[in-house]
């Protein structure tokens, strides 16, 4: 949960910064080299954050699948144990 919030916050912050830079450059002839490089750095940071978020979601999905398989295996073993106990009780 905290990973998702962090990812959204960083994207929002980067978007807000890009908007502020674009508005401040709106009155001039065009963005300066410094502003263009700052925007490019922010774009790269946003792409990196989005990739990291996608990777984390993939890891979460894999762990959830592994957990579901483990729970199913546990349930099957508990059923087998109950059946074995019942068979032993019937043998007495």
Q: Per residue in 42-78, pLDDT tens? A: 999 999 999 999 999 999 999 999 999 999 999 999 9
Selection from 24, 23, 17 nearest residue 40 by Cα: 17
The pair of three-digit structure tokens given for residue 12, joined into one six-digit string: 């929002």
Mean of per-residue pLDDT scores for the chain: 86
Total number of domains in the chain? 1
Q: Is the pLDDT of residue 25 over 60?
A: no
Query: What is the span of the domain harbouring residue 66?
Result: 2-91
pLDDT at 6: 57
Comparing 90 with 78, the larger pLDDT belongs to: 78
Comparing 29 with 83, the larger pLDDT belongs to: 83
């Amino acid at each position: 949960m905290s990973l998702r919030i962090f990812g959204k916050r960083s994207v929002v912050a980067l978007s807000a910064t890009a908007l502020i830079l674009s508005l401040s450059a709106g009155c001039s002839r065009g963005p300066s080299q410094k502003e263009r490089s700052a925007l490019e750095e922010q774009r790269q940071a946003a792409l990196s954050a989005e990739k990291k978020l996608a990777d984390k979601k993939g890891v979460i999905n894999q762990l959830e699948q592994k957990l579901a398989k483990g729970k199913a295996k546990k349930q099957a073993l508990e059923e087998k144990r109950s059946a074995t106990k019942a068979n032993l009780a019937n043998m007495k």
